[in-house]
Structure formats: C-alpha cells, structure tokens
C-alpha cells in the first residue's frame, strides 16, 4: 500500500510538471496564454488514452521497485557445515524474497513455519529428507507455509502425525505454492491446503505415496493429495499411489488440471483415484490410471459427488488417458453433476464402463 501510494504521488507530480513545462514553452513560442490553454487541453490524453499514458510512466517505477526487491533478497545456506544447521533455523531469520538452499541429508524431528513471501526453498547436493519422527509445526505439518508465492523444490517429507489425523508433509496456508521434484510419504496426508479462494497450487514432477490414516482404528481418512477450496490446482508429471481407504487425489478447487501423471491403486486399498468432489472445471488428460482388483470403490474418477448444487456451472473433459481395471466391472468416470461431461480418446484395459451420468463418449 505504501509503494502504491508513493507511485501515485510521483506520477501526479510528473504529470503536473509536464503540463507546466508544456504550457511555459507554448507561451514562449506563441505569446498568448489563452491560445496555449486551448492547445494544452487538446494535446492531453483522451479517456481511452489515459491507461496507456499512465502505463508508460508507471513502467520505469515498477521495474525499479522490482529491482530493489530483488537486490534485497539473500541466499541462506542450511546444513551441518553452515551457521544455519536446520531448516527451522532458516525459517526464523528468512526475509521476503530469500532463496534457502538446504544441503542433502537427513534432518530428524525438525519442523518449521514459513511466514515470508516469495521464498525459494530448494534442496541442493542431494535431496534433503525431513524426517519428522511424529513432530509437526503448529500441530499441523512438517512445514506450514503461510507466505505468498513460495516455491519448494527437491525436498523429501515423511513421518508426521498429529492427534487430529491430518498431519501433512506441507500445510498450505498462504496464497500460491509451487512444488517441483519433491517426495511426500508416510504422513497422514501428503499435502493439505486451507480454503483460500485466491490461492493456487501447482505440483510438477513429484511423488506422493503411503500417506494414510488407519481408518479401521480411527475412523478418519488420509489422502495423498487434498486440495481445499482454492482458485486453481494443477498436477503434472507426478506419481501418486499407496493411499488406503482415502483418495489418491482429492480436490475442491474451482479449476483443476490433472495432466500427464501416474495415479495408481497398487495395493487395492484406496477409494477414488481422482475425486473432484465439488465440481467446478476439470481437465484430466494423458494420465496412466490403475485400479487394483481388491479396490473397494469401483469408480476411478468422481466428479461432484459432494456438490450441494448439482446444476452449478462447470465443465469436465477427460481425454487420452489410459485406464487399467484389474478387477470386476469398474466405472471410469462417474459424473454426479447435471452438466455434460466429455470423454474423448481414452483407452481401457479390463472390464470398464466408460461413463456413468450425463455426458458424451468419443473414441
């Protein structure tokens, strides 16, 4: 807010200065103040031209502010040989825009809350493994990320558990998280997000497996990926498998893109492979999907099973996926909404009913 106010003040001063200079030059050239007022009025931008006029003057200030922010960012190094021995030590001193490089190796029982914005949290010289050993930051996760526009890359998360049975590798409470080449396993949840209508989550080239809760004992579900009510969720080139009773991928996001992944129920214990549980918009494309013979739920992809308004606007496109059903008759897509789903050029192995609910199937 202070930066925006400063920019408005500077631009206002520049505009006034330009007007005064133009008026003075006009008077010097023509000698008549009234004529110059008319000329100056005619030369001013029209209402349609004002956005372009302001952009031309705003751009240099925007670039200078971005450069100033980049200039203040630092590289924090974490590892046994550095002053910052643990990731939690870096979380305590990091500033907005910092790059935190964590040396490969095991970090047992170390958990952290990250409140800063625009962080890059990256594993270097191998993949650092955060072995929570039952610990959880704020009683929620190995890492609780509260900052905006954070990137996590090449880090492994395992072994957290909390009394509420929602202990996650990462709990997303900020706005905008990107995850690349990360592993999440043997937690109660792989990743869990808050309900933030402005937030986004992007996961690329990662692995999620065996994030479970003992349902028979506790009556609660664990999911490999659980996305809350956010604006957009994107999952690409990722391996997801080994959920038990819970789902491999569960999302309440308004817009979903699930593209080029390998999502498998390899032990016959999970529910849906993909659950777009409240509907919205979904593109499910070019995935390898497998449902084991012992899977208790015979549906691979569910759309809007929990939606309160089955007639809400949205879309569902499922194309060029490969689905293997190893057991009895299984449903590939169960569309619980009233909208027309589109299934196109999918390939099936085993006993498969392509679609249950409204929609079209094109092969």
Confidence (pLDDT) at 357: 98
Which burial class, exposed, middle or buried, applies to 220 when counting CB atoms under 10 A from its CB (0-12, 13-18, 19+)? middle
Confidence (pLDDT) at 58: 46
Q: If we measure between CA atoms, which residue out of 26, 112, 118, 27 comes closest to residue 70? A: 118
Structure tokens at 249: 């991928």
> Phi, psi at residue 30, to the nearest 5°?
-105, -25
> Where are the chain's structural domains?
2-71, 76-362
- Please indicate whether residue 5 or residue 205 has the higher confidence score (pLDDT): 205
Q: If we measure between CA atoms, which residue out of 257, 270, 263 comes closest to residue 240? A: 263
Give the single-character DSSP code of 184.
E
Q: Domain 76-362 belongs to what topology? A: Pectate Lyase C-like (2.160.20)
Q: What is the DSSP string of 251-290?
A: E--SEEEEES-EEEE-SS--S-SEEETT-SEEEEES-EEE
Which residue carries 């609660």 as its tokens?
220
For the cut 90, the answer to whether the pLDDT of residue 272 exceeds it is yes
Confidence (pLDDT) at 73: 82
User: Phi-psi category of 149—alpha, beta or left, where left has phi over 0 and alpha has psi -120 to 50?
Assistant: left
Lowest-confidence pick of 47-51, 59-63, 102-106: 59-63
- CA 211/CA 156 separation, integer angstroms: 13
Q: Could you give the percent of the chain with pLDDT greater than 70?
A: 78
Q: Helix (H, G, I), strand (E, B), or coil: what is residue 179? A: strand
Q: Is the dihedral of CA 22, 26, 28, 32 positive or negative?
A: negative
Q: What is the mean pLDDT of the chain?
A: 86
- CA 1/CA 335 separation, integer angstroms: 45
For the cut 80, the answer to whether the pLDDT of residue 136 exceeds it is yes
- b (16+ CB within 10 A) / e for 60-89: eeeeeeeeeeeeeeeebbbbeeeebebbbb
Q: What's the pLDDT tens digit per position in 15-56?
A: 555 455 554 555 455 455 555 554 545 555 555 554 554 444
Confidence (pLDDT) at 241: 95
For the cut 90, the answer to whether the pLDDT of residue 314 exceeds it is yes
Alpha helices, DSSP H only, in the chain? 2-30, 33-43, 50-72, 87-93, 215-218
Q: What is the DSSP string of 193-209?
A: E---TT-EEEEES-EEE
Q: What's the pLDDT tens digit per position in 160-187?
A: 999 988 999 999 999 999 999 999 999 9
Query: pTM (2 decimals)?
Result: 0.81
For the cut 80, the answer to whether the pLDDT of residue 347 exceeds it is yes
> Phi, psi at residue 62, to the nearest 5°?
-65, -45
Confidence (pLDDT) at 8: 55
- CA 288/CA 320 separation, integer angstroms: 9
- CA 340/CA 316 separation, integer angstroms: 8
Lowest-confidence pick of 26-35, 183-192, 335-344: 26-35
Mean pLDDT of 246-257: 96
Structure tokens at 82: 């550095």
């Amino acid at each position: 807010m202070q930066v925006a106010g400063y920019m408005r003040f500077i631009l206002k001063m520049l505009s006034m200065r330009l007007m005064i200079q133009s008026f003075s030059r006009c008077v010097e050239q023509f000698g008549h103040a009234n004529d110059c007022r008319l000329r100056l009025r005619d030369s001013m931008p029209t209402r349609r031209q004002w956005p372009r006029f302001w952009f031309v003057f705003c751009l240099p200030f925007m670039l200078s502010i971005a450069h100033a922010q980049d200039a203040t960012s630092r590289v924090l190094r974490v590892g046994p040989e550095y002053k910052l021995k643990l990731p939690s030590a870096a979380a305590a001193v990091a500033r907005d825009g910092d790059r935190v490089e964590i040396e490969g190796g095991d970090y047992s029982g170390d958990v952290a809350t990250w409140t800063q914005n625009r962080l890059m949290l990256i594993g270097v010289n191998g993949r650092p493994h955060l072995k929570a050993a039952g610990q959880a930051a704020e009683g929620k996760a190995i890492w609780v990320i509260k900052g905006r526009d954070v990137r996590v890359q090449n880090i492994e998360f395992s072994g957290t558990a909390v009394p509420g049975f929602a202990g996650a590798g990462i709990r997303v409470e900020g706005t905008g998280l990107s995850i690349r080449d990360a592993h999440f396993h043997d937690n109660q949840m792989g990743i869990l997000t808050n309900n933030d209508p402005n937030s986004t989550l992007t996961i690329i080239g990662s692995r999620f497996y065996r994030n479970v809760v003992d349902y028979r004992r506790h009556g609660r579900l664990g999911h490999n990926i659980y996305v809350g009510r956010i604006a957009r969720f994107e999952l690409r080139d990722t391996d997801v498998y080994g959920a038990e009773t819970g789902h491999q991928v569960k999302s309440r996001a308004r817009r979903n893109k699930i593209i080029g992944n390998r999502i498998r129920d390899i032990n016959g214990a999970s529910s849906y492979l993909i659950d777009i549980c409240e509907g919205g918009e979904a593109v499910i494309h070019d995935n390898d999907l497998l449902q084991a013979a012992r899977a208790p739920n015979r549906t691979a992809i569910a759309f809007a099973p929990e939606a309160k308004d089955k007639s809400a606007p949205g879309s569902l496109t499922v194309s060029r996926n490969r689905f293997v059903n190893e057991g009895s008759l299984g449903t590939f897509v169960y569309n619980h909404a009233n909208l027309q789903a589109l299934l196109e050029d999918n390939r099936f192995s085993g006993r498969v009913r392509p679609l249950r609910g409204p929609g079209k199937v094109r092969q």
